């Protein structure tokens, strides 16, 4: 099972992907976490990504794809994965298709968490106050929401055309949202 989980910053992707990981027995691969770890470790990709991430921008596709290819090649991802935070634009979706096609794999399902912008802004405000993550700063979140609507929405439309999108209301208690996700997954 190879799943994508898409939604704006603060929609609950990471939380839901962690719960799905336990339910489905496949790894949760968060591109944001991979990049934050690279920044913290001072890797070449991390050094390149740090100022871009701090400004709320998107890391260059080639850097992200290299990092992702390495991760998907690890043994625990052999039988499937839940990819969180990628692809963010149509070019990345096509690059992921090429990467997966090289190993005769494909995305099985795309879960889209639908959450109004006002709810996202409030969630990120609370998380920023608690964790001080730079990408949760309210101005950065507004920029990321605009990027999501302009660049990632076409990705959702691409996958909708393939018939593999499951749109899920992402507002409510964590367990409620998780139940909605499970109800829409093929078994």
Query: Domain coordinates of the chain in residue numbers?
Result: 2-30+81-180
The Cα 179–Cα 182 span in angstroms is 5
pLDDT in tens, the chain (187 residues): 899 999 998 899 999 999 999 999 999 999 888 888 888 888 888 888 889 888 877 788 888 887 888 788 889 999 899 999 899 899 999 999 999 987 778 999 999 999 999 999 999 999 888 988 877 888 889 998 999 999 999 999 999 999 999 999 999 999 999 999 999 887 6
Say which CATH topology domain 2-30+81-180 has.
Answer: Rossmann fold (3.40.50)
List the strands of the sheet with 2-6, edge to edge. Answer: 28-30, 81-84, 2-6, 109-114, 165-169
pTM of the full predicted structure? 0.85
């Amino acid at each position: 099972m190879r799943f994508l989980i898409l939604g704006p910053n603060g929609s609950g992707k990471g939380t839901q992907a962690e719960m799905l990981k336990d339910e489905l027995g496949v790894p949760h691969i968060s591109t944001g976490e991979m990049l934050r770890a690279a920044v913290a470790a001072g890797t070449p990709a991390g050094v390149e990504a740090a100022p871009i991430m701090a400004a709320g921008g998107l890391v260059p596709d080639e850097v992200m794809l290299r990092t992702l290819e390495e991760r998907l090649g690890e043994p625990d991802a052999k039988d499937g994965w839940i990819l969180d935070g990628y692809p963010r634009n149509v070019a990345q979706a096509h690059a992921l298709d090429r990467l997966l096609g090289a190993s005769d794999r494909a995305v099985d399902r795309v879960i889209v968490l639908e959450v109004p912008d006002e709810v996202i802004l409030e969630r990120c405000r609370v998380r920023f106050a608690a964790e001080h993550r730079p990408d949760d700063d309210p101005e950065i979140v507004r920029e990321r929401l605009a990027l999501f609507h302009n660049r990632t929405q076409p990705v959702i439309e691409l996958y909708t055309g393939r018939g593999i999108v499951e749109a899920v209301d992402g507002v409510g208690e964590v367990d409620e949202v998780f139940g909605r996700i499970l109800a829409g997954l093929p078994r």
